[in-house]
Amino acid sequence: NAGVMQNPRHLVRRRGQEARLRCSPMKGHSHVYWYRQLPEEGLKFMVYLQKENIIDESGMPKERFSAEFPKEGPSILRIQQVVRGDSAAYFCASSPQVGRGYTFGSGTRLTVV
């Protein structure tokens, strides 16, 4: 069981570029959550998805951010036209049932230069 796989581990983007973060949940897990962690801060909820559905996106910025979890393939968090304030660690978690037994990936550390 490979756990929650996130890639890339580190991503550097220039201001205005697009960032794509990928997350493959644990086998058998159909619930995926994305969280953002700023340096020296806690984790802030962004979005909760199940296959082909966004269940709760109350933590997503209204513009430039989107997420998907297609029928086949990993979940993708997409940030368009990145700005320096987007620099953070982005963690994906999956669970086999609603809201419990979260397993986190190792995160993608996005740096916008």
Partner 1 sequence: GENVEQHPSTLSVQEGDSAVIKCTYSDSASNYFPWYKQELGKGPQLIIDIRSNVGEKKDQRIAVTLNKTAKHFSLHITETQPEDSAVYFCAASNPTGTASKLTFGTGTRLQVTL
Residues in contact with partner 1 by the rule CB under 8 A: 4, 31, 33, 35, 41-45, 48, 55-56, 58-59, 91, 97-107
**What's the min distance (Å) between Cβ of 15 and partner 1?**
25
Smallest distance, partner 1 to C-beta of residue 97, A: 8
- What is the DSSP code (8-state) at residue 86? G
Of the pair 1, 58, the CB lying nearest partner 1 is at 58
How many Å apart are CA 75 and CA 56, to the nearest integer?
Answer: 15
Please state whether beta strands 75-79 and 88-95 pair in parallel, antiparallel, or not at all (unpaired): unpaired
Nearer to partner 1, 66 or 103 (CB): 103
Report the nearest approach of partner 1 to the CB of residue 62 (Å). Answer: 17
Which among 102, 105, 69 is positioned nearest to 90, based on CA atoms? 105
Distance, CA of 70 to CA of 54 (rounded, Å): 10
